[in-house]
Amino acid sequence: MESPLSSLTLDQLRQRTSIKWRYHPADVLPLWVAEMDVPVAEPISRAITDALALGDTGYPAGTDYAEAVAEFAQKRWGWTVDVSRTAIVPDVMLGIVEVLKLVTSPGDAVIVNSPVYTPFYQFVRHMDRLVVESPLTDDYRIDFDSLSQAFERVTAGGRRAAYLLCSPHNPTGTVHRLDELATVAELAAQHGVRVVADEIHSPVVPAGATHIPYLSLPNAQDGFALLSASKGWSLAGLKAALAVAGSGAAGDLARMPEEVSHGPSHLGVIAHSAALREGVDWLDEVLTGLDHNRLLLGDLLAEHLPGVRYQPPKGTYLAWLDCRALDLGDDPAAVFLERGRVALNAGPTFGTGGAGYARLNLATSPAVLTEAVRRMAASVRKLPH
């Protein structure tokens, strides 16, 4: 069976009007923003078409999305989600903002593990919180000495603080282990830091790796998780996400303003619910294709760009490329774009540890991925010496 990643031609993809395909000129291969080059899964398309036929295009209501997440979480991870401790939110990032408002105040610190998803910095600073970095280790794991020191520093004097955990981690693709998450919960409880876990990429973890929901840990009861079908089924344009509170954080979530629930798209809720309930086989086909692309990228880099250090991601469809040996400066993505006409994400935008790196989106066809690496290699050969 053909992978969804291989079912659309480049000409078909260029007809799209989303940011991935319209931000750069038409001669650029876009392997940057986290949209997948796949058709919509049939159960999702059918659910939306049925809703349109009914004129069901109003405001969202009820707990159907939460129930769909709970069903998926139980089957996929063995995690029981208490629907009574959930709230629909417009998307994961806006949900994070609303949760952070509940547990921190302006001027309080939010700890992140850099390099990390660029909007963590943008949104947190926009809400007048202080971003404090706790950099990952060289092999992209949480550095617990650094994290403990950060927790102690930001809570000095009794100040409130939150830890924004990216799980699986973007851009490195790290899937946190059970022992690591247990240590996070232990340190957070010790220092009174509230954990907010961004688990948007949790469905994009293939066989051979295991996503562990943060709230499934028995001592994570004061934390929160944000989940969505957005990344697993490429539904960024159909806005919907879910905030889940641990048993000790239910009272905080209950304070979330009712108007926040007006933000998700009703069609988004319908689409995401259909994905989680009926689109699992499609998701597994995508994961198989991503496994192939992870290996293919390694082979292509070894052949064409051996100077690039690449650790295949355990989760997500994002590759974190260490280009420092190529001597392209802090932002190698700029060189690949200008000289190779390949758009990647600039490493420095992910914070400390991002200089000399670039993020590449693997969720495309093998043909596009192959052409992209060939162009990147050619761009390096064109540099004056």
pLDDT of residue 384: 63
**How high is the pLDDT of residue 208?**
83
Quote the pLDDT of residue 207: 79
The mean of the pLDDT values for the chain is: 97
Q: What percent of the chain has pLDDT over 90?
A: 97
CA distance 378 to 356: 18
Give the pLDDT confidence score for residue 279 in this predicted structure: 98
Residue 116: which of 292, 373, 357 has the closest Cα? 357
| Model confidence pLDDT, tens digit, residues 309-321 | 999 999 999 999 9
Q: pLDDT band for position 206 (50/70/90)?
A: confident
Residue 22: per-residue pLDDT: 97
Region 367-372 average pLDDT: 98
Report residue 234 CA to chain centroid gap. Answer: 11
CA atoms of 197 and 210, how far apart (whole Å): 16
244-298 pLDDT tens trace? 999 999 999 999 999 999 999 999 999 999 999 999 999 999 999 999 999 999 9
- Confidence band of 139 (pLDDT split at 50, 70, 90): very high
Q: pLDDT (tens digit, 9 = 90+) per residue, 146-174?
A: 999 999 999 999 999 999 999 999 999 99
The total number of residues shown for the chain amounts to 385
State yes or no: pLDDT of 385 exceeds 70: no
Residue 190 pLDDT > 90, yes or no? yes
Question: What confidence category does residue 383 fall into, taking pLDDT thresholds of 50, 70 and 90?
Answer: low
Cα angle 281, 196, 144 (rounded to 5 degrees) comes to 105
Which residue in this structure is represented by tokens 């069903």? 71
Q: How far apart are CA 177 and CA 8, in angstroms?
A: 35
Measure the CA angle with vertex 19, ends 382 and 370; round to 5°. 40
Q: Which two tokens stand for residue 275?
A: 């994905």
d(CA 250, CA 102): 11
Find the distance separating the first CA and the last CA of the chain, reported in whole Å: 47
Please answer whether residues 38 and 5 qualify as being in contact, where contact means their C-beta atoms are separated by less than 8 angstroms: yes
Flag whether pLDDT at 199 surpasses 70: yes
Mean pLDDT value of segment 344-359: 98
Q: What is the mean pLDDT of residues 62-80?
A: 97
Q: Which pTM does this prediction carry?
A: 0.97
Q: What is the 3-state secondary structure (H, E, C) of the chain?
A: CCCHHHCCCHHHHCCCCCHHHHCCCCCCEECCCCCCCCCCCHHHHHHHHHHHHHCCCCCCCCCHHHHHHHHHHHHHHCCCCCHHHEEEECCHHHHHHHHHHHHCCCCCEEEECCCCCHHHHHHHHHCCCEEEECCCCCCCCCCHHHHHHHHHHHCHHHCCEEEEEECCCCCCCCCCCHHHHHHHHHHHHHHCCEEEEECCCCCCCCCCCCCCCHHHCCCCCCCEEEECCCCCCCCCCCCCEEEEECHHHHHHHHCCCHHHHHCCCHHHHHHHHHHHHHCHHHHHHHHHHHHHHHHHHHHHHHHHCCCCEECCCCCCCEEEEECHHHCCCCCHHHHHHHHHCEECEEHHHHCCCCCCEEEEECCCCHHHHHHHHHHHHHHHHCCCC
- Per-residue pLDDT, averaged over 6-20, amounts to 96
- If one counts every other C-beta atom within 10 angstroms of the C-beta of residue 195, the result is 27
